[in-house]
Structure 1
Amino acid sequence: MEDGANAVRGEAALRVGGVTLVLRPSFAALVAAEGELGPLFALVERAAAGKLALSEMVALFWHCLRERPDGMMREDFAEGVTAGGLAAATPALKGLLGQILAGR
C-alpha cells in the first residue's frame, strides 16, 4: 500500500508532522493501551458516545504505533496529532476501534 498500512493486519495510517506512521492494533499494543486507559470496550463506548478524550485517542495511537521514528517522544507525537486535527485522525481511530470490536 502507498501509505505502508496493511489493511489485512488491521493497520491504519496516520500523518503526524509530515510523516506517515502506521498503527497496528496487535495484542501487545492493545494490552499496553488497556493498562493505561482501562477496559477497551469502555473506551469504545466512550468513543461511540462522543466522550473520548483527546488524551485517550493519543494514548491508543501511541501504543499501536508499529514503529516509532527515532527521537520521537510521546509529547511530540501528541502535539503532532493535535496539530493535524481531529478530522485527520478520525479515520485511523475508526479503524482501530473497529479492530478492537471485530478482532482478526
Structure 2
Amino acid sequence: MPPTPFCPNCRSAAVNWVELSGNAVVYSFAVVHGFPGLPDLTLVPAVLDLPDAPGARLVSNIIDVAPADVTIRMAVRVDFSPITGGWLLPVFRAMATKSDKE
C-alpha cells in the first residue's frame, strides 16, 4: 500500500514515517527474459514482505543473483542503484547465509 496521510485502518491523521531496517522477504516473484535478438536482459521483479512494517509489501527487482536461485521466503536486503537525474532506485540483493560466510 502506498504511503497515505492517514492510517488505512483507523483513518487517524496521526501518522509518522519510520525508518526500516532494509530487510525484506520474498513473497512472490517472476523471471522476465528479454526479447530474442536484443541485448541479454533478465529481470527478477518480486513482491517483498517488509518484516519491520507488518502488512506492507513492496515491488522491486532482485539483482546479482541467478534467477534459478531466487525462492519464496528468501531473505533479501535493500541497496540503491543510481539512475538518471541523481535519483536512486531501490533494488534488493540476497542476504548472505551461514554457508555463504563459511
If the length of structure 1 is used for normalisation, what is the TM-score? 0.26
Specify which structure has the bigger relative contact order, considering alpha-carbon pairs within 8 angstroms and separated by 6 or more residues.
1
Decide which structure has greater helix share.
1
TM-score normalised to the size of structure 2? 0.27
| Between structures 1 and 2, the one with greater strand share | 2
